[in-house]
Amino acid sequence: MTQPIGIFDSGIGGTSIFKEIHALLPYENTIYLADSKYAPYGNKSKQEIIDLSIKNTELLLSKNCKLIVVACNTATTNAIKILRNNYNVPFIGIEPAIKPAALNTQTKAIGILATKGTLSSELFHQTTDLYSNGINVVEQVGEGIVPLIEDGKTYSEEMKALLEAYLKPMLKANIDYLVLGCTHYPYLIPLLLEMLPKHVKIIDSGLAVARQTKNILEQNTLLNLRKKASKNIFYTNGRVSILKDILENQFEVKSLDF
Ligand code: DGL
């Protein structure tokens, strides 16, 4: 099936998920929506996050998408249930990778960096309760990180100062896993590797989401079987140049008001 996969995020962060999907499914056509105008979602109310997720979903469906990847932890944890109940296409969501961290920690302490919207959601609490028995889960809201990334200041002194403050309580608790619970955060990995002690492993859910996307396409016989170069289009209601930069100028980026 040649119809595109739709992907949306509150901004440019979900491109970290797009890259995993594109690497695993190179023949799939995709349409990406960067809702940068309304970023960050992380401090918005549940209802606002639901409304924005519906707006993005309807735009992707109007462009004939066969499956939608909610490439945003905040939107997934607050809105995916409602999206699944209201629309007739498969939805793939993303949640912080608590399970592998909790299963593998040796120090019995793990850190989770995510948005306020994710950390306060019911879905996040359910998953944490399920896997965190006997483990110290140090939760930290990454206040201010997404706006800096959206502003092209990923590798900056301001970012370093924020991360230093956010990592402090985690390192004090002797974490050996840091879970990146926001799709913008994989872009912080080069900086985090400079700042974290060697024994702390960083994990995110990008590859798991790509694998799940492939499984669901297969199960629903939705895979694109034509082995032709794919068409990957990116729409942003924010700055085109920032999205182009994060995609290393490899894909077509268009400005769209939505
Ligand atoms: N990239 C998003 C996430 O995974 C949302 C960040 C935000 O807009 O606050 O949570």
- If you take atom 9 of ligand 1, which residue's CA is the nearest one? 42
Number of Cβ within a 10 Å radius of residue 141: 18
Q: What are phi and psi of 30, to 5 degrees?
A: -140, 150
- Report the predicted TM-score, pTM, of the whole model to 2 decimal places: 0.96
Share of the chain above pLDDT 70, in %: 100
State if residue 53 touches ligand 1 by the CB under 6 angstroms criterion: no
Residue 181: closest CA among 116, 102, 91, 115: 115
| 116 Cα–ligand 1 center, Å | 9
Residue numbers annotated as active site: 72, 182
Domains of the chain: 5-94+206-255 (3.40.50.1860), 98-203 (3.40.50.1860)
* Number of residues written out for the chain: 258
State if residue 73 touches ligand 1 by the CB under 6 angstroms criterion: yes
SS3 183: coil
Rounded (10°) CA dihedral 191, 34, 38, 58: -150
What pLDDT does 218 receive?
Answer: 97
What pLDDT does 100 receive?
Answer: 96
What pLDDT does 53 receive?
Answer: 98
Asked if residues 179 and 204 have their Cβ atoms less than 8 Å apart, the reply is yes
Residue 6 DSSP label: E
What pLDDT does 113 receive?
Answer: 98
- Taking only the tens place, the pLDDT of each residue in 25-69 is 999 999 999 999 999 999 999 999 999 999 999 999 999 999 999
Can you tell me which atom of ligand 1 is nearest the CA of 10? 8
Q: What Cα–Cα distance (Å) separates residue 251 from each residue in 19, 230, 245?
A: 11, 11, 10
- Taking only the tens place, the pLDDT of each residue in 183-231 is 999 999 999 999 999 999 999 999 999 999 999 999 999 999 999 999 9
Peptide bond into 197 cis (omega under 30): no
Long-range CB contact pairs, 52-55, < 8 A, 24+: 52/10, 53/8, 53/78, 53/79, 53/80, 53/82, 53/83, 54/79, 54/82, 54/83, 54/86, 55/258
